[in-house]
Structure 1
Amino acid sequence: MTKNFDAVVIGGGAAGLSGALVLARSRRTVAVVDSGTPRNAPAHGVHGLLGHDGIPPAHLLKRGREEVEGYGGQIIAGEVAATARVQDGFTVTLRDGRVLHARRLLVATGLRDVLPDVPGLARHWGRGLVHCPYCHGWEVRDEPIGVLAVGPASVHHALLFRQLTDDLVYFANGTGLDAETRASFAAKGIRVVDTPVAEVESDGDDISGVRLTDGEVVPRRVIAVVTRMLARTEGVEGLGLPVEDLPNGLGRRFVSGAAGTTDVPGVWVAGNATDPTAQVGASAAAGALAGAHINADLLH
């Protein structure tokens, strides 16, 4: 079955829903295709979002979907298998065989966080294992925190989390630290552990400590780590959107310009797919701006 829309939004997170909301309120026919796997699904709440601080991610998305549908937008549950340019726009083919036709596309696929390969670590993602001091920092304040280093970016990470607790251990884990950084850490009361990490130990659903390769266990309740952030490209490879690597091997993003414009005419990107560090509020704002630009573009 083929359906025709002014715009199809690929990805139903904060960016995608905000873009769709602006378009639907402008009386554009719009569909949002969403696989139902948001990046922040494991988190207990969305923080730093004015007026909605602490709202569970699922509740926020449910409310957003209802708002889009309230203005005539469609929410389509499914995964995009392929996208292609055709003479009068684009086709979006879903894995179940449905085909959508769009005059314009908004790619808001988000990203995938890649964690260090440390036994026992991944099971705590979004709870005892955190990555963003602005998203989760207040909730882990004054806890014994361990920063598991993955590279140069982890130094700044440690300084941010040191602001939230007096008990911070930096697990260098083979990444190395220069003398100046070690002196800075010492002055701030950050303990550096150079022995490599063997595994993360748990007490039920909670982190209890970090076991080193020499057998020592350093008690910790929270672990902070810089993830490798990879834009989700599945299903949109056919568009030929340019991508670029982030500095220090921290991942990959879609390249975009003002308001989410891309080098591919008729295609915009918004949210974590192009701005990996954007929180929910920033992603929503980017999606709304992209939606406004798509509407203006359709006028011509």
Structure 2
Amino acid sequence: MSENQSFDAAVVGGGAAGLAAAVALLRARRTVVVLDAGNPRNAPAHGVHNFLTRDGVEPLELQRLGAEEVRRYGGTVRTTTATGATRTGTGFTVETPDGPVGARRLVVATGLVDDLPPIPGLRERWGNDVVHCPYCHGYEVAGQPLGVLGLSGLSGHQAWLFRQWSEDVTYFTHTGPELDAGRREELLARGVRIVDGEVVEVVTEGGALAGVRLADGTVVARRALVVGVPLRVHSPVLDALGLAREPVVMGGFAVGERYPSGVGGATTVPGLHLAGNVTDPQAQVVTAAGAGLMAGAAVNADLIAEETAAAVARYRLTPAGTPA
């Protein structure tokens, strides 16, 4: 990369949100570079769901198709890590191991990090038969014996939801807080079994989840396990620009954090916009893509406003009746 290389917009993050933002800007005839570290959060999953006309597409294939679309419109996609950023006048310089990248505006769409509990065997099944979202994975595990791991106050809510997809649901209290009386009664009334004790291992058989082992050695057969991990965000770019994180509260429980943004992903840092899970932890792929589109449109409108103001200033300096 050349140090003097500059774009109308730099997009950090090459998932659905970032690529959608890039396409929106490219269709507005802007110069755009996408900086992507190449490790999407949903890579372990078999497929993307609830994305109209793309249901079941492999996450990496969707990303490949999106990057191809960016390039088709004349954009640049680079596999690199954004390690920081600074404000430079009305624009930004994004730091990467390959050199700095300059841009008039910046969109960050780097997503979440799944902070999985250190249970042997769990990470290896993550995104397959260890899942977290009923709308992402519920249909694929429907009708199977399901387990829900108690980790936070929201875990009971997950058990309540996943009961819609299976009549055989077991809630493992694990290390989570005690279920309140109302939720416990609801689960028992719906036939959800509640098992006390810490889960110490995910048991597999033939390359698939077969159950969980409790601290007392008991193995409870299950075909899928629901794990609601904390919603963690970390962006050295946003941290360097001074954007503070805020807690995410669901159902009265703190379940993680996000970088705050407003309409079109606008932030308190002028020219900086966010899209996707980095600012909306509940966004699925299709909604993240929609947010990327809106962020791209907002950035383009901001650039038009800046260019219009400059044109007016030039116009006022020209002789009357002379085109600016």
- The 5-angstrom pairing of residues 248-263 of structure 1 reads 248-263=253-268
Which residue identity is paired with 1:218?
V
Cα offset for 1:205? 2.0
Q: Distance in 2 between matches of 1:142 and 1:153?
A: 22
Residue type at the aligned position of 2:109: A
1:7-86 to 2 correspondence within 5 Å? 7-86=9-88
Q: What residue is the counterpart of 2:204 in the other structure?
A: 202
Paired with 1:234 and 1:218, the residues of 2 have a C-alpha distance of 42
Question: Does the 8 Å CA contact 1:209/1:218 hold for their aligned counterparts?
Answer: yes
Q: Decide which structure has greater strand share.
A: 1
Report the structure number with the largest CA radius of gyration: 2
Q: Distance in 2 between matches of 1:23 and 1:134?
A: 30
Determine if the alignment matches structure 1 residue 270 to structure 2 residue 272.
Answer: no
**Tell me, what secondary structure is at the counterpart of 2:83?**
strand
**Retained in 1: the 8 A contact 2:90–2:271?**
no
On the 8 A contact 1:145/1:220 being kept in 2, the answer is yes
| Post-superposition CA distance 1:255-287 (Å, at most 9, x none) | 011110100001000000000110000000000
> Aligned residue for 2:322?
none
Can you give the 5+ residue segments of structure 2 that lack an aligned partner in the other structure? Answer: 306-324
Indicate whether 1:297 and 2:302 are aligned: yes
1:253/1:276 contact within 8 Å kept? yes
What does residue range 220-259 of structure 1 map to in structure 2 within 5 Å? 220-247=222-249, 248-259=253-264
Q: 2:182 aligns to what?
A: 180
Shift of 1:204: 3.6
Identity of aligned residues (%): 49
Q: Equivalent of 1:288, from 288, 293, 297? A: 293
Which range moved further: 262-271 or 234-243?
Answer: 234-243
Return the offset for 1:235. 3.7
Aligned letter for 1:268? H
- Count, aligned residues: 299
Alpha-carbon distance in structure 2 between the residues aligned to 1:294 and 1:62: 24
Normalising by structure 1, report the TM-score: 0.97
Residue aligning to 1:279: 284
Show CA shifts across 1:115-172 (max 9, x none). 1222221111000100011011100001110000112111111111110011100001
> Which runs of 5 or more structure 1 residues have no equivalent in the other structure?
none
CA contact (8 A) 1:21 1:71 kept: yes
Find runs of 4+ consecutive structure 1 residues off by over 3 angstroms. none
Map 1:90-239; keep pairs closer than 5 Å. Answer: 90-96=92-98, 98-174=99-175, 175-239=177-241
Aligned-partner residue type, residue 82 of structure 1: G
Q: CA deviation at 1:173?
A: 1.3
In 2, the alpha carbon distance for the partners of 1:276 and 1:170 equals: 24
For 1:179-210, what per-residue CA distance to the aligned partner results, in whole angstroms no more than 9, with x for missing partners? 33222111100000012222211114211111
Length-normalised TM-score, structure 2 = 0.90
User: How many Å separate the matches in 2 of 1:95 and 1:158?
Assistant: 44
- Bigger drift between 113-122 and 98-107 goes to 113-122
CA-CA distance at 1:63 after TM superposition? 0.9
Residue 309 of structure 2 aligns with which residue?
A: none
